[in-house]
């Protein structure tokens, strides 16, 4: 009973946010950048204490003369061993821990830096220096092996990555918990949002999209104690209106599953899918084709 009243307040606030899109936009975008220090908002009611100040992203060697070289964005899902015969779909979405280690080792030994998506966005917007030669590593869905298999490799080779979390899946079977996500963040990784329920956003109303896109980011920001600036469309599905909502609620960039293209539109960024059956030579050729 102790918690009955605060819970009711949370529900009322959520209803208010979902039902009025103008006030929702204000509340949510304020919540985004100011996790933990605003007047009572959704996350200040019953969230754990925020972690300390944001960590600076790892350094990269800047491109000379304000140049902006292409920055390949690599897309991963699972880092695990999967049997191709019994789970062909899962196999296609997975690289093995050994494959991933070989890929990151090659990147680092070949002089590629790694860059977080929010830093990539700042470079494209002309707000900060761009890396001379870097790739962005991205991981979708927030699976447990991001913590158990990807993180150790990234740390071993001094690399960073962006992890897109489905806020409603956190703590479920095979998904990371908030503690594990905070550990990723504190280890220098960027945490991005990937909706609340991984629903196809193109099937939703405007207000439902505001909720899926903004509230997932606000929940994650409250949990990690830092702003969330990067979004990933579930299954790569979006429309121009969805991209506009993503920008309006406070993200600086969003990635798709489009396989190739320019990086001029920060809300429709293409990525290179890294397949489970990709050889090491194939991986190296894929990256080098975009950024020799
Ligand atoms: Zn996904």
* 3 state SS of 42: helix
Question: Environment class of residue 106 by beta-carbon count within 10 Å: exposed (0-12), middle (13-18) or buried (19+)?
Answer: middle
Residue 270 has pLDDT above 70, yes or no: yes
How many angstroms does the Cα of residue 56 sit away from the middle of ligand 1?
A: 27
How many angstroms does the Cα of residue 65 sit away from the middle of ligand 1?
A: 37
| Spatial distance between the Cα atoms of 101 and 76, rounded to a whole number of angstroms | 13
Q: Residue 58's pLDDT is what? A: 52
Q: Residue 21's pLDDT is what? A: 39
* 3 state SS of 64: helix
Residue 264 has pLDDT above 60, yes or no: yes
pTM exceeds cut of 0.85: no
Query: Who has greater pLDDT, 183 or 62?
Result: 183
- For each of the domains in the chain, give its residue range(s) and CATH number, in order of start: 4-290 (3.20.20.370)
How many angstroms does the Cα of residue 249 sit away from the middle of ligand 1?
A: 20
SS (H, E, C) 127-191: CCCCECCEEEEEEEECEHHHHHHHHHHHHHCCCCCEEEECHHHCCCCCECCHHHHHHHHHCCCEE
How many angstroms does the Cα of residue 194 sit away from the middle of ligand 1?
A: 7
pLDDT, mean of residues 219-224: 96
Q: Residue 62's pLDDT is what? A: 87
| Spatial distance between the Cα atoms of 126 and 248, rounded to a whole number of angstroms | 19
Are residues 161 and 139 in contact, defined by beta-carbon separation less than 8 angstroms? yes
How many angstroms does the Cα of residue 60 sit away from the middle of ligand 1?
A: 28
Q: Residue 250's pLDDT is what? A: 95
pLDDT, mean of residues 191-212: 98
**Band of the pLDDT at 292, cuts 50, 70, 90?**
confident
Q: What percent of the chain has pLDDT over 70?
A: 80
| Spatial distance between the Cα atoms of 155 and 4, rounded to a whole number of angstroms | 43
| Spatial distance between the Cα atoms of 166 and 261, rounded to a whole number of angstroms | 26
* b/e map 25-62, b = 16+ CB within 10 Å: bebbbebbeebbeeeebbbbeebeebbeeeeebeebeb
Residue 33 has pLDDT above 80, yes or no: no
How many angstroms does the Cα of residue 76 sit away from the middle of ligand 1?
A: 10
Query: Who has greater pLDDT, 52 or 140?
Result: 140
How many angstroms does the Cα of residue 41 sit away from the middle of ligand 1?
A: 28
How many angstroms does the Cα of residue 164 sit away from the middle of ligand 1?
A: 8
Q: Residue 64's pLDDT is what? A: 85
The pocket of ion ligand 1, defined by CB under 5 A, consists of 140-141
How many angstroms does the Cα of residue 74 sit away from the middle of ligand 1?
A: 14
How many angstroms does the Cα of residue 43 sit away from the middle of ligand 1?
A: 24
Residue in the block written with tokens 């690399």: 159
Q: Which residues pair with 20 in a beta bridge?
A: none
Q: Residue 66's pLDDT is what? A: 79
How many angstroms does the Cα of residue 37 sit away from the middle of ligand 1?
A: 31
Q: Residue 59's pLDDT is what? A: 77
| Spatial distance between the Cα atoms of 41 and 218, rounded to a whole number of angstroms | 10
Residue 248 has pLDDT above 90, yes or no: yes
How many angstroms does the Cα of residue 83 sit away from the middle of ligand 1?
A: 21
Q: Per mean pLDDT, which range of 20-29, 38-47, 139-148 is the poorest?
A: 38-47
| pLDDT tens-digit readout, 52-78 | 445 455 578 888 887 899 999 999 999
How many angstroms does the Cα of residue 274 sit away from the middle of ligand 1?
A: 14
């Amino acid at each position: 009973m102790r918690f009955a009243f605060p819970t009711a307040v949370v529900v009322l606030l959520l209803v208010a946010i979902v039902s009025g899109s103008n006030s929702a936009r204000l509340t949510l975008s304020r919540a985004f950048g100011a996790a933990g220090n605003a007047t009572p908002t959704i996350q200040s009611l019953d969230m754990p204490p925020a972690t300390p100040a944001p960590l600076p992203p790892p350094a990269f060697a800047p491109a000379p003369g304000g140049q902006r070289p292409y920055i390949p964005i690599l897309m991963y899902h699972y880092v695990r061993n999967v049997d191709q015969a019994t789970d062909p779909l899962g196999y296609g979405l997975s690289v093995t821990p050994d494959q991933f280690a070989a890929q990151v080792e090659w990147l680092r030994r070949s002089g590629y830096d790694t860059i977080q998506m929010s830093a990539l966005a700042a470079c494209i917007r002309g707000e900060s220096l761009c890396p001379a030669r870097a790739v962005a590593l991205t991981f979708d869905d927030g699976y447990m092996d991001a913590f158990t298999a990807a993180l150790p490799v990234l740390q071993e080779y001094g690399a960073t990555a962006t992890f897109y979390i489905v806020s409603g899946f956190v703590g479920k079977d095979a998904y990371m918990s908030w503690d594990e996500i905070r550990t990723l963040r504190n280890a220098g990784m960027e945490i991005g949002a990937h909706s609340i329920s991984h629903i196809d956003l193109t099937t939703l109303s405007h207000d439902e999209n505001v909720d899926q896109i903004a509230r997932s980011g606000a929940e994650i920001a409250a949990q990690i104690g830092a702003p969330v600036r990067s979004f990933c469309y579930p299954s790569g599905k979006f429309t121009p209106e969805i991209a506009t909502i993503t920008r309006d609620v406070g993200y600086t960039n969003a990635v798709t599953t489009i396989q190739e293209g320019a990086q001029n539109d920060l809300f429709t960024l293409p990525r290179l899918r890294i397949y489970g059956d990709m050889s090491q030579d194939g991986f190296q050729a894929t990256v080098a084709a975009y950024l020799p």
